[in-house]
């Protein structure tokens, strides 16, 4: 697998990263572990997760699989969005709550908390689930500029970096949420992870401020939604040209597909 150094922070990651937002769609812990192992076997070494993904299950599974391979991989987790009713330790609990959310939709909506004290607690809970002393990237998850004390958050992130709990920080979200931060004097946007596509180019706002794309996602799914008559290989090649120096996040439930995508990156 090809690798790249993320502009501005000097951290090397694989050109293809694995996103764990839908990892919990695989019911068994064994199956989730096999998928994560297949990602590593295909050459993927960067993994994106969050406390909200699978209500904590994604971080637990990732920590279990990466525990003995931590030095070979990079990890992103996030703060800001959390599951209603706390975290789940089993698939049964998770899916029971998901079904409840069908009846009470508010139960499926993320709980948004932006106080620094809560972010600090969240980070250290994530580290426990991930079975590691640090994460390479800590992102504010779908951040709302009006809800965040930027100066306080910035000061806290610097402290965590000095302590070695994080190596870099940034923002993860769609353009409408991330773009307002770009004019702030406090550099919460050191790294940007955002949605993009090969047709509508949602991530152009990053280019507009003279920066290169760092982490992007959504190319294959957006092509499907647009019903474009393009092969996955064609979509990936164009995505790699657009994000020529960063990492592209992909997600699948099929181990075989990870090998196929990895070959596209190498070709």
Domain 3-266 adopts which CATH fold? Answer: TIM Barrel (3.20.20)
pLDDT of residue 190: 95
Q: Which residue has the tokens 């994560």?
A: 36
**Could you tell me which residues are beta bridge partners of residue 48?**
19, 76
**Predicted structure pTM score:** 0.95
217 vs 68: CA distance, rounded Å: 27
Q: What is the spatial distance between Cα 128 and Cα 150, in angstroms, rounded to a whole number?
A: 26
How far apart are the C-alpha atoms of 142 and 135, rounded to whole Å?
19
Rounded distance between C-alpha atoms, residue 265 and residue 13, angstroms? 14
Asked whether the predicted pLDDT for residue 41 surpasses 80, the reply is: yes
* Contact between residue 255 and residue 34 where contact means Cβ atoms under 8 Å apart: yes
Tell me the per-residue pLDDT of 44-100, one tens digit each, with 9 for 90 and over: 999 999 999 999 999 999 999 999 999 999 999 999 999 988 888 788 888 888 887
Looking only at the bridges linking them, the beta strands covering 135-141 and 166-172 are: parallel
Q: So which residues are the catalytic ones?
A: 53
> Which residues share a beta bridge with 91?
none
Tell me what pLDDT residue 99 has: 83
pLDDT at 197: 95
Q: How far apart are CA 10 and CA 260, in angstroms?
A: 28
Ramachandran region, residue 242 (left: φ > 0; alpha: ψ -120 to 50; beta: rest): alpha
The domain limits of the chain are: 3-266
Amino acid 89: pLDDT: 78
d(CA 164, CA 49): 19
pLDDT digits (tens, 9 = 90+) for 126-150: 999 999 999 999 999 999 999 999 9
Cα–Cα distances in Å, from 102 out to 57, 175, 192? Answer: 20, 28, 32
8 A C-beta contact, residue 209 and residue 182: yes
- The whole-chain average pLDDT of the chain stands at 93
Report the pLDDT value the prediction gives residue 107, as an integer from 0 to 100.
73
Q: How far is CA 126 from the centre of its chain?
A: 13
């Amino acid at each position: 697998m090809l690798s790249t150094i993320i502009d501005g922070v000097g951290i090397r990651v694989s050109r293809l990263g694995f996103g764990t937002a839908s990892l919990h769609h695989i019911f068994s812990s064994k199956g989730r572990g096999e998928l994560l192992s297949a990602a590593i076997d295909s050459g993927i070494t960067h993994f994106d997760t969050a406390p909200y993904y699978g209500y904590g299950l994604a971080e637990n599974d990732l920590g279990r699989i990466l525990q003995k391979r931590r030095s070979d991989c990079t990890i992103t987790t996030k703060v800001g969005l959390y599951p209603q009713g706390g975290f789940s330790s089993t698939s049964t609990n998770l899916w029971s709550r998901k079904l409840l959310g069908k009846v009470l939709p508010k139960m499926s909506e993320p709980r948004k908390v932006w106080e620094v004290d809560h972010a600090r607690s969240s980070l250290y809970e994530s580290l426990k689930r991930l079975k590691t002393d640090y994460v390479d990237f800590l992102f504010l998850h779908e951040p709302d500029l009006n809800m965040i004390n930027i100066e306080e958050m910035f000061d806290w992130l610097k402290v965590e970096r000095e302590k070695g709990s994080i190596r870099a920080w940034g923002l993860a979200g769609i353009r409408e949420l991330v773009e307002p931060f770009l004019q702030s004097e406090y550099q919460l946007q050191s790294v940007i992870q955002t949605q993009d596509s090969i047709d509508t180019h949602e991530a152009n706002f990053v280019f507009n401020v003279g920066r290169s794309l760092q982490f992007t996602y959504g190319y294959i799914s957006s092509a499907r939604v647009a019903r474009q008559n393009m092969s996955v290989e064609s979509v990936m090649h164009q995505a790699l040209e657009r994000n020529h120096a960063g990492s592209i996040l992909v997600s699948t439930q099929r181990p075989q597909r990870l090998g196929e995508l990895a070959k596209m990156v190498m070709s």
